[in-house]
Structure 1
Amino acid sequence: MPANALSPMLGTLPSPPPQVVQADGSPASGRYAGCIERIDWRGLAAAQQRSALWRRLHHKRWQYVGISHEAFFIGLAIVDVGWTCTAFAYFFDRRSRQLLVDWSQDGLPGLQCRVSDAPVLGAQAHFKGFGAKLDLKHVAPQLMALNVQIPGLQLQAKIDLAQAARLLLAIGPIEQGGGLAHATQKSSALALSGRLHVKGQSYALDGATACLDASNGLLSRHTDWRWASAHRADVGFNLQSGYFGANENALWLDGQLIPLGAAHFEFDTQQPLSPWRVWTADGLLDLQFTPEGARQQDRNLLIAASHYVQPIGCFKGWVKLSAHAPARKVEQLLGVTEDHQSTW
């Protein structure tokens, strides 16, 4: 399958390069519309100046899936941080505004966990732990399969890539000390089918949408970011402020992929369930976010630490196709924000 065969829509961004590293050993920095076959950093000149142990410990890969439904939101991820791995999954019930399932587990990379260098086409990510299994893989030219079996939640789903708007590919240097380079593939809203069983309740996934986030980089030991993501068929966006700068900031509007400028996050770090404002410096997005609940975790393992809060809620405000285009009203757009500091 050609790297850009998911959709005929090109948007305003160029097609991806064949590799994330250029012939001169520098990252192929930029934002692109489409899929890359692999994220392979072996030719990165700056990485060759570091030891094999450094490369192993600083190479981070993850696959994240967000699932939006009028009644619930599901977030899950499989993360390989080089020296360990982890997985999490949660189910947020929008009616009760509670996390009915909040599961996470650590494991051994290579034995219990694997995240491939193929981000979408050919992707394989799995985690197998005590009483738990998560598996995401590309199973057909335009189809991905997701299987989650954890205490309290069982999910079998197919993610349809056939009608997907162009995925964003972002490649660039790390903007925090100690890291080298990073690449990520982000999707807009993807059609979903399958079944979900949670706490004795059963749901059909028809009508729900999924978004994918496949990331791979040589990152700093101390990595911080703020993030926002929300997607449905007509409008979606991805915003990040922190270690990767504005590289992955993008808007999907009626299937068109539009790069965005630097993102700004205004919120109370002590009260993350109070309203947030997110906006971009180019004047193309200005949204208010009202949290309905949150998943959060604080861990300090001496050699590693993490402060993490991911509120779930709805965005409203406006977006623009271009600086001189009329503002497009946004209401009741379900998604998440995140404040994350990691030592890993």
Structure 2
Amino acid sequence: MQQLIQPNGQPHYGIFPGTPATINYRDFDFRSPMGRRLGALSKWRSFHQFQYFGLISPTLIGGCALADVSLLTIGFVYLYHPESGRMIERQFKCPLGMGSNFSQTPNDGVCELRQGRNLLRLENGSAPFEKRLLVELDDGTRIDARFSEEQPAFQPMSLCTPTAVNGWVYARKVAGVHCSGEVRSALGNYDLRELNAYAHHDWSAGYMRRETFWNWACLSGETEGRRVGLNLSCGVNETSFTENCYWLDGQLVKVDTVRFEFDRDHPLQPWTIRSYDGQVELHFEAHGLHQERLNLGVLASNFKQIFGRFSGVLRPAGQAEVRIENLWGFVEDQYAKW
């Protein structure tokens, strides 16, 4: 598929075997809830895009995100050392996207934020299918991490769902892939291949709900001699289709809707995550937290990303159960108004 938006102004909907070459959102026939056609200014204000790259290993955990919500570009990066509990985290905000650049080509483009001597850069390459994270901070922290979807072969989750009365969201998810590169920081210097680190990646864009929330879970690692990755969500990308899935040795296994059970006032207490079809039954024990709060009236966010360890079981149809024992990963609880 070359373009997500068809000549009639409507998106292709569904779960795709591949990735659209271009998210040509300006060609969308965007209308008000009452059917009035909306122009370029409304399209710019209502289109949002974000990208996330996560690192997972028992020795070092990290995450970097960029989000373009038209009036503001937001970026964050953190590194967490589980053994010591030490953490490095930085946040950046660029009004009207100044100092940032976002590509609408998920497999071949660059998204980045520059502020002073700080750089957050996410590169997506098509030959080979490689994702790269480059972070350079003014305190000397440097992250250069990458993974490939070709060796061994990997099948991403790629889908587009209707959203609210007049929108849509495209998302591309990857988890359970080996990661290479290096990290230099006050927490130490690390070779990610030597750490046997894993990565996960999220590229999402669209005309999202003006006010929304979601819960999300992701893990990556090895269990019973198999590479495993997981991507589950509740509250977003659930109209007609869902992004819920896991990967066994790079092969995608689709999952039905899921339920997150946790104490919102005490998010570091244990979580339970179950799928309606019985394929997923997991418990999550928190070890650390990255959180942000923003309330500017027209824009607001209450974001908690919690890292810890999962235990439980995956039950792929026609295969033996896959036991999950203390695999590192993430959960999220987020409210957003944009």
TM-score normalized with structure 2 length: 0.89
Give 2:127's match in structure 1, choosing from 116, 138, 141: 141
Corresponding letter in the other structure for 2:169:
H
Q: Secondary structure at the match of 2:24?
A: coil
What is the aligned partner in structure 1 of residue 115 from structure 2? 129
Quote the Cα distance in structure 2 between the aligned partners of 1:277 and 1:330. Answer: 14
Q: Does 1:165 align with 2:141?
A: no
Aligned to 1:107: 94
Match of 2:83 in 1: 95
- Please report the RMSD computed on the Cα atoms of aligned residues, expressed in angstroms: 2.0
Distance 1:236-1:139 versus aligned 2 partners, 3 A rule? closer
Q: What is the deviation of 1:204?
A: 0.8
1:298-330 per-position Cα deviation (integer Å, ceiling 9, x unaligned): 2212221111111101111111222x5442211
Judged with a 3 Å threshold, the aligned counterparts in structure 2 of structure 1 residues 304 and 249 are, in CA distance, closer, same or farther, namely: same
Q: Distance in 2 between matches of 1:314 and 1:123?
A: 33
1:340 matched residue in structure 2: 334
Structure 2: distance between partners of 1:82 and 1:266:
33
Structure-2 residue corresponding to 1:244 = 237
Give the Cα–Cα distance (whole angstroms) in 2 for the partners of residues 86 and 194 of structure 1.
25
For residue 28 of structure 2, what is the amino acid of its counterpart? L
Number of residue-to-residue matches in the alignment: 323
AA at the equivalent of 2:89: D
Match of 2:4 in 1: 20
Shift of 1:110: 5.1
Distance 2:43 2:172 in 1: 21
Identity, in percent, stands at: 27
DSSP-derived class of the 1:56 partner: helix
Do the aligned partners of 2:175 and 2:218 also contact (CA within 8 Å) in 1?
Answer: no
Aligned to 1:37: 21
Structure 2: tracts of 5 or more residues without a match: none
Q: Which residue number in structure 2 is paired with residue 72 of structure 1?
A: 60
The match for 1:10 is none
TM-score by length of 1: 0.88
Q: Runs of 4 or more off by more than 6 Å in structure 1?
A: none
The gaps in structure 1 that reach 5 residues or longer are 1-16
Moved more, 137-146 or 35-44: 137-146
Structure 1 contact 189–232 (Cα < 8 Å) conserved: yes
Q: Which range is displaced more, 177-186 or 220-229? A: 177-186
Q: Secondary structure at the match of 2:302?
A: strand
CA distance in 2 between counterparts of 1:167 and 1:80 reads 23
CA spacing shift, 1:179–1:287, aligned 2, 3 Å: farther
Distance in 1 of aligned mates of 2:16 and 2:261: 28
Deviation at 1:249, TM superposition (A): 0.9
